[in-house]
Structure 1
Amino acid sequence: MVSLLPSPTARRRHGWLLGLPLLGLVWVAATLHAQPEVERAVEASARAASSGQQDAVDASGETWFRLTGQGRDLVVKGDAPDAASRERLLLRLAGAGAPRRVLSAIGLVEEVSPFVWTATRTREDRIDLSGSRPAEIGRTALDARLRAELPASVALADEARAVRGGPPDFPSVAAFALARLQALAPGGVATVRDTTLGLEGEAAGPDSYETLRADLANLPAGYSAGRVEIRPPRVAEFRFGVERRADGGLTLTGNVVSETARTLLRKAAQEVAEGASVEDRTRTARGLGEGIDPEALTRFTLQAAGLLREGSVTFDGARLSAAGSAVDGQAVAEIGVLLRERRPQGVAPGSLDLRAAPLSPYRVTLRRDGDGLTLAGHLPDAAARERVLAAIRPRFIRERIVDRTRLAEGAPPNLVAALETAIPQLALLASGELAVADRDIALTGTSLYPESGRRLRTSFPAALPAAWRATASVSTPGAPERREIDACRRDLAAETRAHPLHFAPGSSAFAADFYPVLDAIAALAKLCPDLRFEVAGHLDPPGSRRETPSADAGAVQTTASIDKDAAKEAAGRSAPGKDAAKGKDTAHIKEAAPGKDAKAGKAAADKNAKAAKGAKPAEAPVAESEPDIARLRAQAIVDYLLQAGAAADQVGAAAGAPEAGAQAIVFTLRG
């Protein structure tokens, strides 16, 4: 029999091999346990050999080299001020005895251009610095400045070399860059190149993306933006929504794929809002499903939101849904068709929760302008629409008719009849609008003919069905402005009550404060062409005294001393005529006349008054008081208003005797 088991001799010969793995484990453990102690001993020996040397300190006052034990070897890093300092350091370290070898990674401080410093976020908790740093700033001091911008959990590995030629205030821009780097995901890079700062990488989140864009607009003084390539963050679920508010405005929510897309979205939203406010709450992000066109998605969402009175249309990453109150019943069906049949490619239909709220107020508008006639708003049914269009077409043959009406319940009674009555009135205008709100209807616009405009203002309200309230406001280009009769009366009363016109005793000459009042009354006469202004003069109080320009400047007379001949003579002086044109006794005439003649008359009166100074008083005959002075004053006012632009048949002196006890000119409106 042959045995297959190894012999005892063979087992003794190969048994020692079984102990080799165990021996290896023991050796590795001993090495790992002893190596840190060896490295610390090597570093301590090297520091002792290099301490106290003057050439081991750089311009900032810090040691310019770093020592690291690597087993029994010593690694030396740093930037020596010059080659001689480097050689002396290496000789001292080699003679320290503890290191087996000295591995040098020492460079020399030199001038560089361009200056480049780079910070890279290699992990969530680590940032590596490379490139160059100014030699005049010590590594330790710079490290302390930069760590102030970082969380305590983030490690900072600085391998930048000391060089000459760094930019001004480098610590500030480096700290700014590290703070911005926290908003980038791992792999992000911040670079200072001379006096520019660049950022590259993916934003850590949607808010970080917006913050970075804002921060880069406010760089440290003396620095400008370099290469900036910040990618929007990727979100797990890309969302987008448009909310229609009760005030008609829109609120945009969710994500957009880029800043360009946001700009286009805002512009389109303004058109849908039709003048109402648009609030943008979107954030830029990536993550929209492949095959979905972002522009088609936003355009579709806005189109559906435009059919809402209040509510929202949302995209949740895969489906489109709508909820809220539609503008009318027709809109409910239209939104449903949009979501089921016309949604963007790659998007699934979502939930639909819509209702049609009653219209309040019920509105219809017809607008005529240079582009044609536009019909908008709501009508109760298709038959009503056809009746309205049938009333429009014969009267607007050469114009383009645009029908934008929608169908909805809730129309006021006799709506179509009211529109059929009002449309011919709109056809009389060169441009205008017919606006219906429940049972109120307003016609506004411009007419080429003043008479046509006046007729519309009176005939339009009377032509409408019972229970309808109508207003018409029609203007004529180039025609003078007209004012309502009641407004004319109120304005005249307010003007004359605030500034009553009192003539000086015995005089028909205008005082300086007459002219603004009379100018205002003349302007009012132009705005109220259908009214007649009657002017009544006033008498002087009995026994009143007046100063008269005479040879005796001190003469003082009473109005009782004015006899009939004197009154006639005064009227002759005040009325314009041949003698007045020749300059005979023109002081009163020119003072009562408007414009240049009035100013000249005032000057003449002043001159006569000055010339009369020093004259002695003179007695005048006493006679009974007459109303001639009142008529003279009224006629002077009428003459001024005629010359100021009032129509000849619009102003005149009041007939009859002046009102007893009147102390000022009285204006009365007739018509």
Structure 2
Amino acid sequence: MCRWRAWWKGLPALAVLAAAAIFFGRAPVEHDLTSRAEALLSEIGESWAHARFEGRSAVLEGEALSEEARIKVRAELGRLSGVRLVEDRTTLLPERRPFTFGAIRDGNKLHLEGYVPSNYARRRIAEAAAEMAPGVVVSGDQELVRARGVPAGDFIGVVAFGIRQLAKMPSGRITISDDAFSIEGRAPDFTTYDALEVTVRSELPGDFKLARFAVLPPAVSPFVWSASREPDGVTLSGYIPLGDARRSLLDMVRAAVPGAAISDRLRLADGAPQTEGWLKAVSFALGQLGRLPNGKVSLSGTTISVEGSAPDFAAYDALAGARRSVPEGYTLTRFAVEPPTANPFIWSVQRNANGVRLTGYAPSEDAKRLVLDAVRGDLPGVPLSDEMRIASGGPAAEAWVTATAFGIDQLSKLLTGAVRGDGTTLSVSGEAQDSAAFNTVLAALAQSPPRGFTLRADVRPPVVSPYVFSLRKDADGLTISGFFPSPTEHERLVAAAKAQFLGAPVNDVSAVAQGAPQGFTAAAMAAMRQLSRLETGEARFDDGRLRVTGAALYPAAVASIRSTLASALPSGFSLDVGLEVAAPHPMVDRAACQKAIDELLEKGTIAFLDDGTRIDPASYGLLDHVASVAASCPDSMIEIAVRQPQASAVLAAGRAQSVTKYLAGAGIAPDRLATGERPALAAQATVPGRIGEPGIQLIVR
């Protein structure tokens, strides 16, 4: 019979024995699998991965460089004898683009930074850094970050190569960005620099390219360079900043002096100005050397020197002109080129909105300096561009300075203009700043020219916009204001005003100026003729717009003035007429009426066009005032008598009829007007100016 109660008491002990058997039997298996897995991972080059076992189940951990590496490790570990299953807990390293690495040396310190693809790479790089030079302290190796994205090729090898180059310099830096390698620093001597350049350019590990070679050669000061030209070739001496600059420099020499033998005595050095600018300055200097068969050009720092003798004037012109195009950042401190003779000897001082420009030739440096002082004295603060060259063959220096300074004095009163010399001829031209300046310059030019020189002038008045001109008639007379195009046209306007406004005082406050619209004088004369027909009024021009305002002497004059102006104004002018009719004159008796008409005829002349019978429009003002006076004695007859000592009876009668017709159109009743031959009256018409050619008299009856 079973004793089940006793059997139950032995179960706990049995369980303990079973657990102990499992534990002590599992540990050797896990240890064996772990050892074999580590060896396998190392053998297949995937030491980044680690496997731990729970029985025969592998737990795979680590950071992979790629998904392919994870798949490979899982597959290889799964095929390992004794492994039941693989649990993949690996992750991918972060990818870095660009994949960068840097090493910086500063004396006995070397700092590493950037990314590495693995711990193995980190260890190898740290070993290479430690071996760089005795006593160098390496930092940053433990901070190197593992990452994906390492470029193809021997990454460890290119880093070790760079560190070896840093060992040759007291300070410097290498940088790797993807497959681009850069190095910078300063070589302690010329030999080291040459060796570094050759090594880096020729021995850089494959799959990597040189992005930047910025190792500086030893510094020199001053940084000098020169090129001397002789019949047998060109000799280069001094320093050159970079290896690449030498190739460019030699190309420049060949271009400037084709076919010349080149003796290169240049030495690489640091301390030069910025290389690109330096090469531009060298190119400029060599360009001048190409024009000098026996010359020398040199640079010292940022100064340039050119010396020699120009073979002809064309070469000298080019050399002197090049002085205006010195490369930015450089100064031409010595220009010792002997000039040829200038024929013709010409020069100019030109003024425009940008300043003053001097060109042409000066007889000496001292003479040119005095002229420059004259410009600065007469035109203070005005920008000055000096392009004058020195040449022989011109006037004596003292006379040249006196004449040019005289011209500059006039130029100071011009808005734009020029003083030009040709041998012993001096010309002054340009636009005056204002009317007062214009008159001052004309007065100065009217005086004797500088001794030994012939003077020519073409000075113009200033340009104004808008171009305004006004003729205003009131009880005080005629006021002329605004601008007129030229003194000649001004004289015409003033003379016409004095004739047409019947002796009224003329107050002229106008000034000469350019900018008048085409046909301005003709338009002004037409406006003046119509203004003379008004009792009071104004004719005002604003460029091509004419506005006429005021009071006409009789109603019909308003339409007549408007139509006459519309047909008389030149093309391009617009017309605006705003006229009213003046109050009629008080009624007077016949004697007062005759006296008033006689006074008018004494001040003005009734003229006819082309010796014919048509009344000159310049006489309309006189006839309008006659009509206004005749209207003040409406009960009187107006007889128009004609004497004809030189005119035919037909011509005389036709002219009298024209006057009769005009007065009738002005509102005088036709039955008050009579014409005829009156020899007795004609004999009284001998007073000059009373009635005018050819002898018309108006008799009030």
TM-score range, shorter chain: 0.3 to 0.5
Structure whose residues are more often strand by fraction: 2
TM-score of the aligned structures, taking structure 2 as reference length: 0.41
Q: Which has the larger radius of gyration?
A: 2
Structure possessing the higher relative contact order (Cα contacts under 8 Å, 6 or more residues apart): 1
TM-score of the aligned structures, taking structure 1 as reference length: 0.43
